[in-house]
């Protein structure tokens, strides 16, 4: 080969690398793509209005958008009638389908560990020679800020202290012998040490393996069928091994519509919780009213800020805000460790992990439970909420996980964030419980949204740390709304990852409006009811996705294994 030919070849390779870098959907190395005539966006409606444009899937966007608009309108029109409907819906679903939610979550955990230890773990997302697009630090920052930020702030103190106090109170039964207490498992009546062990184990159960397994299953399916199989980045693509070309018809439309509704209502639940906690924080610090008016104004103001972040996009908006927020969260956590019960926190972290593992079989048991208030009122709601969040978090994780092997992906998404959540809960939960044991029982008696600030009130520099806590809640709110808008817009645009800006504005705006409607139509109960209602149909979707993911992985070339 002549020198000139070598230069031409080297130039072609450079162009190819540049082309792949600019389009993450182009595989790097060996893959086994799915041959289909479907083109991304072929069913989309494309319009131009001066400098603005629209590019959305004709059926998915229209049906899901109209459903959301109708829900907001009806809920705001009939606020007084909405609350009992939401209450009865939540109670019926959690009481009658607790076994379904708990059993399904167990399946997701088992599948993840099976893939970690099986040869299928050697499949690389994006092709056998693909490299990661983000560093671990950037990846985890986006993952935490968008995935569980508001929940960790809201429940970091309230859940450990609640489970501890209910376990300490022991069990109570009615005349029919049915337990009426909220203690997990068999409780620990009067035994402070045992109540602390059980309370922390129950808390960690809701924030460790199971929720991250839910996210990991969907994220893996999306990454596999988009980066390796060449299909659009939508939920329906996962089901090609099951539905074939029908996935581009009404069966696929229904899957994507359910995903959009689940995502939006799951997000609205978190945004409502964030508004409630921020309002409580402002009341604690400045004496502002913490009623629905304040919460609605907070939702409006923070949604407006989220719109600015949406316009900046994934790289400039979400990642930058996520990294800032994770830095603030780490500083706050370090402060609690240093000025709080340091030894109890550090030693408790290891003990909490051990107690979680010991109690895991009983806590994850889906049938024959006596602690019905705990398993139905806490666990069922949590699993439905995580499942409702999974399209949003799953697609977000998928978009930033190209280049990882399946094994590396699952270990990172499943185990490392779980340990981080355990540490967070150990820090804030132990600090609150130690204050309770020292006589500051108020931390367990105030509303859930206020318990973080009451705990911080028992430490130095209350005004500063409480204000930082409020900022964290609001920025987590922004990143969740921001990331959710990008994800919903991708699904409603038929898999196009760069849809026009007006569509993102639409979804970001209606995330806030749905949160407002739920706050006015029943508060926390309404938020929980919609999370459970949205999570139910999507649980069926996720269970079917488990089968499709295994089928898709079996056909992929693996790292270190040559194909003929």
Q: Which residue has the higher pLDDT, 185 or 319?
A: 185
What does residue 110 show for φ and ψ, rounded to 5 degrees? Answer: -60, -40
Tell me the sheet residues that pair with 56: 45
Evaluate if residue 142 carries a pLDDT over 80.
no
CB 238 within 8 A of CB 545: yes
Evaluate if residue 59 carries a pLDDT over 50.
yes
Pick from 356, 325, 326: which is nearest to 426 by CA?
356
pLDDT confidence of residue 143: 63
Question: What gap in Å lies between CA 305 and CA 506, rounded to an integer?
Answer: 14
Q: Is 331 helix (H, G, I), strand (E, B) or coil?
A: helix
Question: What gap in Å lies between CA 363 and CA 106, rounded to an integer?
Answer: 11
Evaluate if residue 1 carries a pLDDT over 60.
no
3-state SS string for 468-526: HHHHHHHHHHHHHHHHHHHHHHHHHCCCCCCCCHHHHHHHHHHHHHHHHHHHHCCCHHH
CB 255 within 8 A of CB 60: no
Mean pLDDT of 220-240: 93
Q: From the CB of residue 336, how many other CB atoms can be counted at a distance below 10 Å?
A: 23
Mean pLDDT of 268-281: 85
Evaluate if residue 4 carries a pLDDT over 60.
no
* Residue 386: DSSP 8-state: H
Q: From the CB of residue 180, how many other CB atoms can be counted at a distance below 10 Å?
A: 11
Tokens of 261: 């509704």
Predicted TM-score of the model (pTM): 0.89
Q: Which residue has the higher pLDDT, 272 or 300?
A: 300
Q: Which residue has the higher pLDDT, 88 or 191?
A: 191
pLDDT band per the 50, 70, 90 thresholds, residue 18: very low
Evaluate if residue 531 carries a pLDDT over 70.
yes
pLDDT confidence of residue 392: 79
CB 402 within 8 A of CB 24: yes
Q: From the CB of residue 334, how many other CB atoms can be counted at a distance below 10 Å?
A: 11
Question: What gap in Å lies between CA 321 and CA 308, rounded to an integer?
Answer: 12
pLDDT confidence of residue 312: 65
539-554 pLDDT per residue, tens: 999 999 999 999 999 9
pLDDT confidence of residue 7: 44
Burial of residue 141 (CB within 10 Å: 0-12, 13-18, 19+) is: buried
Evaluate if residue 364 carries a pLDDT over 70.
yes
Evaluate if residue 19 carries a pLDDT over 80.
no
pLDDT confidence of residue 518: 82
What does residue 321 show for φ and ψ, rounded to 5 degrees? Answer: -65, -40
pLDDT confidence of residue 227: 92
pLDDT confidence of residue 53: 73
Mean pLDDT of 116-133: 90
Length of the chain: 564
Evaluate if residue 387 carries a pLDDT over 70.
yes
Q: Which residue has the higher pLDDT, 51 or 41?
A: 41
Mean pLDDT of 401-429: 89
Q: At what angle do helices 149-169 and 192-205 cross, to 10 degrees?
A: 150
Q: Which residues of 424-444 are buried (b: 16+ CB within 10 A; e: fewer)?
A: bbbbbbbbbbbbbbeeeeebb
CB 515 within 8 A of CB 278: no
CB 486 within 8 A of CB 269: no
pLDDT confidence of residue 8: 42
pLDDT confidence of residue 11: 47
3-state SS string for 500-511: CHHHHHHHHHHH
pLDDT confidence of residue 58: 86
Per-chain mean pLDDT for the chain: 85
454-479 pLDDT per residue, tens: 999 999 999 999 999 888 888 877 77
Evaluate if residue 299 carries a pLDDT over 70.
yes
Pick from 253, 261, 257, 218: which is nearest to 401 by CA?
218
Tokens of 367: 């049938």
> Over pLDDT 70: what percentage of the chain?
90
Tokens of 556: 């992929």
Evaluate if residue 563 carries a pLDDT over 50.
no
CB 98 within 8 A of CB 363: no
């Amino acid at each position: 080969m002549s020198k000139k030919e070598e230069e031409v070849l080297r130039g072609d390779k450079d162009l190819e690398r540049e082309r792949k870098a600019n389009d993450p959907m182009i595989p790097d190395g060996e893959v086994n793509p799915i041959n289909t005539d479907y083109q991304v966006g072929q069913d989309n409606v494309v319009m131009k209005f001066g400098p603005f444009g629209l590019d959305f899937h004709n059926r998915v966007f229209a049906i899901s958008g109209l459903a959301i608009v109708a829900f907001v309108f009806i809920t705001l029109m009939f606020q007084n009638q909405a609350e009992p409907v939401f209450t009865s819906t939540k109670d019926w679903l959690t009481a009658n389908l607790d076994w379904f939610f708990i059993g399904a979550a167990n399946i997701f955990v088992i599948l993840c560990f099976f893939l970690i230890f099986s040869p299928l773990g050697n499949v690389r997302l994006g092709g056998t020679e693909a490299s990661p697009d983000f560093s671990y630090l950037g990846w985890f920052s986006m993952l935490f800020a968008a995935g569980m930020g508001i929940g960790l702030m809201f429940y970091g103190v309230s859940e450990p202290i609640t489970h501890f106090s209910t376990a300490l109170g022991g069990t109570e039964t009615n005349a029919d012998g049915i337990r009426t207490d909220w203690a997990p498992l068999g409780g620990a009546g009067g035994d402070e040490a045992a109540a602390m062990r059980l309370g922390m184990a129950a808390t960690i159960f809701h924030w460790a393996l199971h929720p991250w397994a839910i996210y990991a299953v969907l994220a893996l399916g999306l990454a596999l069928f988009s980066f390796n199989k060449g299909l659009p980045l939508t939920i329906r693509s996962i089901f090609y091994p099951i539905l074939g070309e029908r996935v581009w018809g009404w069966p696929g439309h229904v899957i994507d519509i359910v995903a959009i509704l689940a995502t939006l209502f799951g997000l609205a639940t978190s945004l409502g919780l964030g508004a409630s906690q921020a309002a409580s924080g402002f009341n604690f610090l400045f004496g502002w009213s913490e009623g629905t008016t304040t919460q609605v104004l907070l939702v409006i103001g923070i949604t407006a800020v989220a719109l600015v972040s949406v316009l900046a996009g994934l790289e400039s908006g979400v990642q930058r805000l996520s990294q800032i927020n994770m830095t603030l969260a780490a500083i706050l956590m370090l402060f609690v460790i240093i000025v709080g019960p340091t030894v109890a926190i550090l030693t408790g972290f290891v003990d909490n992990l051990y107690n979680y593992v010991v109690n895991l079989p009983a806590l994850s048991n889906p049938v024959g439970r006596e602690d019905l208030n705990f398993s139905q009122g806490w666990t069922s709601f949590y699993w439905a909420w995580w499942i409702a969040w999974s399209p949003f978090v799953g697609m977000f994780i998928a978009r930033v996980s190209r280049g990882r092997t399946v094994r590396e992906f699952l270990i990172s998404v499943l185990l490392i964030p779980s340990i981080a959540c355990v540490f967070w809960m150990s820090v804030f939960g132990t600090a609150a419980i130690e204050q309770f044991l020292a006589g500051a029982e108020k931390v367990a008696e105030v509303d859930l949204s206020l318990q973080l600030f009451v705990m911080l009130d028992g430490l130095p520099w209350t005004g500063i740390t409480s204000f930082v806590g409020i900022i964290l809640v609001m920025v987590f709110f922004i990143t969740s709304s921001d990331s959710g808008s990008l994800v919903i817009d991708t699904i409603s645009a038929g898999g196009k990852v760069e849809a026009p800006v007006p569509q993102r504005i639409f979804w970001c705006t209606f995330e806030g409006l749905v949160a407002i409607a739920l706050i006015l139509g029943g508060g926390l109960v309404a938020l929980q009811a919609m999370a459970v209602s949205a999570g139910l149909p999507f649980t069926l979707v996720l269970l079917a996705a488990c089968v499709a993911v295994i089928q898709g992985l079996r056909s992929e070339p693996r790292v270190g294994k040559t194909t003929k």
